[in-house]
Structure 1
Amino acid sequence: MPFYSKVLETSCAKHVDKELRASHAGETGAVWIYRGALCAEFLLSLFIIGNRPSKTKPFIHEHLRTEKSHLAIFEHEMPLFRGSFLLPAWIAAGFVTGLLPRLLGHNWFFYTIYCVEQFVDKHYEKQCSSMIMLSEPPSNVINRFKECQIDERHHRDEALSLMTEQPTLLMTLWGKLVGSGSSLAVAMAKLI
């Protein structure tokens, strides 16, 4: 449904295409963060004696459903766009970003989600602001971005509320790495 390609100027269409590509890559990575976390849950369950319920498993399942619905928006409801050629890298990075912190503990995992969603919230805000300034703003795309942004803010706030301790220095450094990696991923997805 490439409605903008006929209506918008070529430069506007290229800009929207880059933004769609970056957000599609990000939502793909987000799905894989939760799949990595589920893999960690399975690995941890192999070593847990007794039947203690996981504090993170319901959170992971709920957020995975939301991220899958966001990905479906990009794959079925948005105008046609060229996907990132680096999608396999975003899948691997997402998986590791969910797996490692979950193996290190629920606070590590929730802090990671907080950092990721903090970045995503700002990124969606920046995207919407830049597209509103186009000569022919794609209101459908902007509205869908804003809907996703609301969910991401909820994820950020929920993750923060579930932390039971303040982030350690190591966690803070990890959070900075996650933010820098996310920023680099967006820049690369827009180009490649």
Structure 2
Amino acid sequence: MSFYSKTLEASYAKQLDKELRASHAGETGAVWIYRGALCAEFILSLFKIVRSTSETTRFIHQHLKTEKHHLDIFENELPRFRGSFILPLWIGAGFMTGFIPRLLGENWFFYTIYCVEQFVDTHYENQCCQLVMQPNPPSNVIDRLKRCQMDEQHHRDEAGSLMAKKTSLPMQLWGHLVNAGSSTAVSIARFI
């Protein structure tokens, strides 16, 4: 193998490591979004502030299970990669991304999930396109990313269908903040 081939291979391995790290951080944050929502559900029920619909509770539990499965894929089925050094930050950010909107109401929560999953769908699509362009694309990685992407698309569509009201201006601003935060988190997680 020539020096040029080895350099390309090493560069590709580093890029794959960065992409897996960013998506692992995202899936970790996703698990904590739903744990944050469950915490808010508990607080709301404890103080009898508002009663959740069984649909919301089912949604949270079902999606938490799916996100845990995605995290398991990254931790046990994909090539080894260096995890993010600031994983506790992604856990905290995920928790607050589920907790705050769930306290504000079901519509806020479903809109938040819609925004997050819209971002994640695009993120996975971009990753798969980059990997396919490699000289020797890792089909095992691409297949698993595509499987996760399909689940995220389903989450997005389900959240969108459960939104009972039109989005208000504050909700739209929150959605932009969620999108910007997700984009920034991916950029940071690739390196740290």
> TM > 0.5 between the two?
yes
Q: Determine the structure 2 residue equivalent to 1:168.
A: 168
Contact 1:120 1:149 in 2 (8 A): yes
After TM superposition, list the pairs within 5 Å mapping 1:21-100 onto structure 2.
21-48=21-48, 53-100=53-100
C-alpha displacement at 1:86, in angstroms?
1.2
C-alpha displacement at 1:47, in angstroms?
2.1
The structure-2 alpha-carbon separation of the partners of 1:53 and 1:141, relative to structure 1 and needing over 3 Å to count, comes to same
TM-score norm. by structure 1 comes to 0.93
C-alpha separation in 2, matches of 1:54 and 1:92: 26
Contact 2:33 2:99 in 1 (8 A): yes
Q: Determine the structure 1 residue equivalent to 2:147.
A: 147
Post-superposition, which runs of at least 4 consecutive aligned residues in structure 1 deviate over 3 A? Answer: 49-55
C-alpha displacement at 1:48, in angstroms?
1.9
The structure-2 alpha-carbon separation of the partners of 1:102 and 1:17, relative to structure 1 and needing over 3 Å to count, comes to same
Q: Determine the structure 2 residue equivalent to 1:157.
A: 157
C-alpha displacement at 1:88, in angstroms?
0.5
The structure-2 alpha-carbon separation of the partners of 1:44 and 1:184, relative to structure 1 and needing over 3 Å to count, comes to same
How many percent of aligned residue pairs carry the same amino acid?
Answer: 69
After TM superposition, list the pairs within 5 Å mapping 1:99-118 onto structure 2.
99-118=99-118
C-alpha separation in 1, matches of 2:114 and 2:42: 22
Q: Determine the structure 1 residue equivalent to 2:3.
A: none
TM-score norm. by structure 2 comes to 0.93
Q: Which runs of 5+ in 2 are unaligned?
A: 1-5
Q: Determine the structure 2 residue equivalent to 1:9.
A: 9
What is the alpha-carbon root mean square deviation over aligned residues? 1.6
Contact 2:44 2:50 in 1 (8 A): no
C-alpha separation in 2, matches of 1:97 and 1:50: 19
C-alpha displacement at 1:135, in angstroms?
1.5
C-alpha displacement at 1:50, in angstroms?
9.8
Post-superposition Cα deviations, 1:66-121, rounded to whole Å, max 9, x if no partner, equal 00000000000010000001100000000000000000000000000000000000
Amino acid at match of 2:43: L
C-alpha displacement at 1:54, in angstroms?
4.2
Classify the secondary structure of the residue corresponding to 1:98.
Answer: helix
C-alpha displacement at 1:55, in angstroms?
3.8
Q: Determine the structure 2 residue equivalent to 1:190.
A: 190
Contact 1:12 1:136 in 2 (8 A): no
C-alpha separation in 2, matches of 1:25 and 1:121: 15
Post-superposition Cα deviations, 1:111-139, rounded to whole Å, max 9, x if no partner, equal 00000000000000000001111111111
Post-superposition Cα deviations, 1:11-40, rounded to whole Å, max 9, x if no partner, equal 111111111000000000000000000000
Q: Determine the structure 2 residue equivalent to 1:3.
A: none
